[in-house]
Amino acid sequence: MEELLKDLLMSDGISGYEENVAQIMTAALKKVSDSVETDKFGNVIAKKGKGKKKIMIAAHMDEIGMVVKHVDEKGFIYFIKVGGINDSILPGKIVEIINKKGERVKGVLGTKPPHLMSAEEAKKPVKFDDMFIDIGLDSREKVLKVVDIGDQIIFEPNAGVLNGDIYYGKAADNRISCYAMVKVMEKLPKNFDAEVYACATAQEEVGLKGGRTSSFKINPDFAIVIDTTVAGDMPGIADKVSALKIGKGVAVTIIEASGRGTIVPQKVRKLMLDAAKENKIAHQIDVIDGGMTDGAVVYTNREGILTGILSIPTRYIHAPTSVFNMKDVDSAVALAVATIKKAVKEL
């Protein structure tokens, strides 16, 4: 696994706490861009090339997680969720609390064991506000020496190779797309005939916020959002729900959240699909019932911005660990580059 990808997957950066990821992205983008800045909202924006047209690439750098809310007298920590997390995945997971010094404090997500539940309690799913984090200290006073109210909490970092091109990692949504965006900037010529802006956006998981502010600032002629999407090649998911498979290419998104999110304009769909066919790039088609990307706020910003979405099929999104295929990441890079070149000529 390339070091940049591993660093991104292992880094901490829930929504609103993206500073460490931003540092990684800043360093990586400086190597492949003409300039890099961090705006007031926390988005990292790199620029490359010079020309009449402005092209924007967006990939959000925040991850789902939690924040410390309360510490009781016995030293147990209570929390709120940040982003979409299914409560059922939480019990027993190892987490890390990032304190004000940047130190990582390990803890275990606990709940009342089933052995001690009443018959009525056992029938109901356990909710996150009945859970707590145990860091092995036995008083509020001791805990508050190493953890503060408001500290971010991430799932235990992990990243590696499962088998061949199939990788796993924490925060694959959306750090694999941040990695892909760096590679796109790397592959575009230094003297490219357009201004290309690579935006690592903040706070996507809690309202697509960074995509809105960065696209307003840049006001591009065309934008590409790179994100992950739900792969359906696992038990319990029928093809009619999701026919996407890891390893079969990047997904070209047509519509997301049943139209509540981005409805990609017909001319943009054609542009991206033609680019894929002309360059023989493996791809799939994505029509999503639920979930949306930064594209939803980018394409409705100002007077409207032509926007396309490339989605990398990923298993177990919004879980402590996700699984993806590097071939799909590579095809996302190839199609983004081909689409940008085509957009500069045709849009």
The number of folded domains in the chain is 2
Q: In this structure, is residue 165 part of a structural domain?
A: no
Indicate whether 51 and 194 sit together in one domain: yes
Indicate whether 9 and 57 sit together in one domain: yes
What does the alpha-carbon distance between residue 49 and residue 38 come to, in Å, rounded to a whole number? Answer: 19
Indicate whether 146 and 290 sit together in one domain: no
Indicate whether 230 and 314 sit together in one domain: yes
From the list 63, 204, 205, 256, the catalytic residue is 204
Looking at every residue in the chain, the average pLDDT score rounds to 96
Indicate whether 175 and 272 sit together in one domain: yes
DSSP 144-198: TTT--TT-EEEEPP-EEEEETTEEEETTHHHHHHHHHHHHHHHHS-TT-SSEEEE
Residue 257 — left, alpha, or beta (φ > 0 → left; ψ -120 to 50 → alpha)?
left
What does the alpha-carbon distance between residue 314 and residue 135 come to, in Å, rounded to a whole number? Answer: 31
Domain holding 290, by residue range, is 3-63+170-346
Does the pLDDT value for residue 124 go beyond 90?
no
Does the pLDDT value for residue 77 go beyond 90?
yes
Indicate whether 29 and 14 sit together in one domain: yes
In single-letter form, the type of residue at position 227 comes to D
What does the alpha-carbon distance between residue 296 and residue 207 come to, in Å, rounded to a whole number? Answer: 10
Indicate whether 264 and 325 sit together in one domain: yes
Q: In this structure, is residue 161 part of a structural domain?
A: no
Q: In this structure, is residue 71 part of a structural domain?
A: yes
pLDDT confidence tier of residue 123, bands split at 50, 70 and 90: confident
Indicate whether 132 and 86 sit together in one domain: yes
Indicate whether 95 and 134 sit together in one domain: yes
- Residue 119: CB partners within 8 Å, gap ≥ 6? none
Indicate whether 137 and 236 sit together in one domain: no
Does the pLDDT value for residue 290 go beyond 90?
no
Residues constituting the chain:
347
Angle of helix 172-187 relative to helix 3-10, nearest 10 degrees? Answer: 150
Last residue of a domain, one of 127, 155, 183: 155
Active-site residue flag, 186? no
In terms of pLDDT, which residue wins out, 218 or 288? 218
What is the average pLDDT across 289-298?
94
What is the average pLDDT across 78-105?
96
Indicate whether 36 and 176 sit together in one domain: yes
Does the pLDDT value for residue 114 go beyond 80?
no
Indicate whether 300 and 203 sit together in one domain: yes
Q: In this structure, is residue 136 part of a structural domain?
A: yes
Q: In this structure, is residue 25 part of a structural domain?
A: yes
Write down the pLDDT at residue 119: 79
- Residue 178: CB partners within 8 Å, gap ≥ 6? 8, 21, 25, 59, 60, 61, 200
